[in-house]
Amino acid sequence: MAKKYEFDYDLIVIGSGAGGSAAANIVASEGKNVAIIESDAFGGDSPNWSDVPIKSLLHAAHLYDEAMHGARFGLRSATLGYNYPSIRAWKDLAVKRTGAGGNRRYYESQGISTFSDTAHFLSPNEVTVNRRHLSASNFLIATGSSWIIPDITGLDKVKYLTPRTILEEIRPPKSLLIIGGGDTGIEIAQLMATFGTKVYIAEKAGRLLPHRDSEVGDLMERILSEQKGVTVLTHSRVVSVEKDGLAKKVIVSRADIEKSIRVDEVLVAAGRAPTVDLGLENAGVKFTAKGIDVNDHLQTNVRHIFAAGDVLGRGNHTHTALLESRVVANNILHRTKITPDYTATPEIVFTNPEIASVGLSEDDCLKRDLSINKAVAPLNIIARSNTSDFRDGFVKIITDKKGAILGASIVAPHAGEMIHELALAVKYGLTAAQVADTPHAFLSWSEAIRVAAGKLS
């Protein structure tokens, strides 16, 4: 009888972010021999350069903004100021407190071998890292994604910022042009504008946040322009960037008319591309520049090689990558395979007001040719809007013709917390009437959910 080949590890995880971390921990906790390879900072994008640091900076900005506008409540705040190095120190503390950023020692404490460099497949069961050859019976590719640098004349000849590098700036720039009006673009626009930066946003689509319901993008454009002085340029394409003394001259094309804008800094936030440059062809794994192909069990065409998170090219969120990572762990450890359930996965943008959505958008329903009913409840019809003096926002609910909730969008303070009620409704097929019949506490923002649901029941 032929001897079974012995590998160095039961599982090698490539990437220590959300898509890789859960699987590494779960499989190691079952007594398996696990290694994790990370080419950048351990913990990946979310705790080091995106979710945690950006949201901690936004929290400080929201506090500052609220205090600056405190006169209407009788608060004397005209002399309020800020110290940006101290705000950055707060951001660094928040990153440290989460414990997920730069957490190589944590993995080692769990008995997981760690390697710091780029992994490259040599064969379906072997990779090289730091000139070492490592073999495993299973692999999980969780290399994530990185910001796409658009093909713009002159961009490669000037210093530009990304949502990662702007976090390390010593102070907010006096003026900033952001290429891309998606989730991250408008978060950074509001963050910088709150601290006094003159911000321009150039977005190719006809509105900000083009992947969300039209009411969301329209309202956020009005809030950013009227309250923060942000100049929003939709239907706009950045043609070229060049140095202009210490500043940059940006040419933006809109309806075939070119406009020149002079700014201190340019920030690229026009989408992300999966990181697939790791010798996948040597392992026989099918992939394209848009991501790695997987089946319902998150297996590639090479069955012992799995993939999860942003490398799939689906524009995932951190909580989705964690879900996929847990699914991969199960499918490595157990004969009975499971599939990730993406139903009712909430999406949140941490602006002020927050933006949250779940389920199908109106555009999604139109593409699927679904017959729907919809209702919008503006925040200014509930009592909380009076006590908080906040009137910009709404709850929108979409149902099928039988009243079952298909999707929802919320723009409101604490929308990220409010959305989970509607996520439950989407996941378990609740009707608008059932949500409307559920008591909602007086003077909570969630009363707007009851009102919107009531319009559909």
Within-domain flag for 83: no
pLDDT, tens only, 145-188: 999 999 999 999 999 999 999 999 999 999 999 999 999 999 99
pLDDT, tens only, 347-357: 999 999 999 99
Within-domain flag for 108: yes
pLDDT of residue 315: 76
pLDDT, tens only, 13-71: 999 999 999 999 999 999 999 999 999 999 999 999 999 999 999 999 999 999 999 99
Q: Quick one: 19 and 134 in the same domain?
A: yes
- Which domain, by its residues, includes 124? 9-44+101-146+273-333
Give the count of domains, the chain.
3
**Strands 113-116, 34-38: parallel, antiparallel or unpaired by DSSP?**
parallel
pLDDT, tens only, 434-456: 999 999 999 999 999 999 999 99
Within-domain flag for 76: no
Q: Quick one: 227 and 373 in the same domain?
A: no
Q: What proportion of the chain, given as a percentage, has pLDDT over 70?
A: 99
Q: Quick one: 26 and 113 in the same domain?
A: yes
Within-domain flag for 59: no
CA atoms within 13 A on the CB side of 118: 7
414: CATH: 3.30.390.30
The C-alpha angle with vertex 281 and arms to 156 and 16, in degrees rounded to 5, equals 70
Q: Quick one: 361 and 440 in the same domain?
A: yes
pLDDT of residue 310: 96
Q: Quick one: 120 and 173 in the same domain?
A: no
pTM metric for this prediction: 0.95
Within-domain flag for 14: yes
- Residue 78 — pLDDT band, cuts 50, 70, 90? confident
- Could you please report the per-residue DSSP string of 350-381? -SSSEEEEEE--HHHHHHTT--EEEEEEEGGG
Q: Quick one: 136 and 280 in the same domain?
A: yes
pLDDT at 293 over 70: yes
* φ/ψ of residue 103, rounded to 5: -100, 40
Torsion of CA 261, 184, 55, 156, to 10 degrees: -60
Within-domain flag for 291: yes
Query: Of 252, 270, 288, which marks where a domain is finished?
Result: 270
Within-domain flag for 94: no
Within-domain flag for 84: no
Q: Quick one: 28 and 134 in the same domain?
A: yes
Q: Quick one: 248 and 162 in the same domain?
A: yes
Q: Quick one: 112 and 179 in the same domain?
A: no
Query: Of 270, 297, 322, which marks where a domain is finished?
Result: 270
Torsion of CA 420, 421, 426, 431, to 10 degrees: -170
Query: Of 241, 270, 299, which marks where a domain is finished?
Result: 270
Q: Quick one: 310 and 403 in the same domain?
A: no
pLDDT of residue 4: 58
pLDDT of residue 144: 97
Find the mean pLDDT for residues 238-253: 97
Q: Quick one: 371 and 441 in the same domain?
A: yes
Q: Quick one: 370 and 394 in the same domain?
A: yes
Find the mean pLDDT for residues 427-434: 98
Query: What is the 3 state secondary structure string of 92-121?
Result: HHHHHHHCCCCCHHHHHHCCCEEEECCCEE
Bond from prior residue into 340 cis (ω within 30 degrees of 0): no
181: CATH: 3.50.50.60
Closest C-alpha among 19, 11, 59 to residue 43:
19
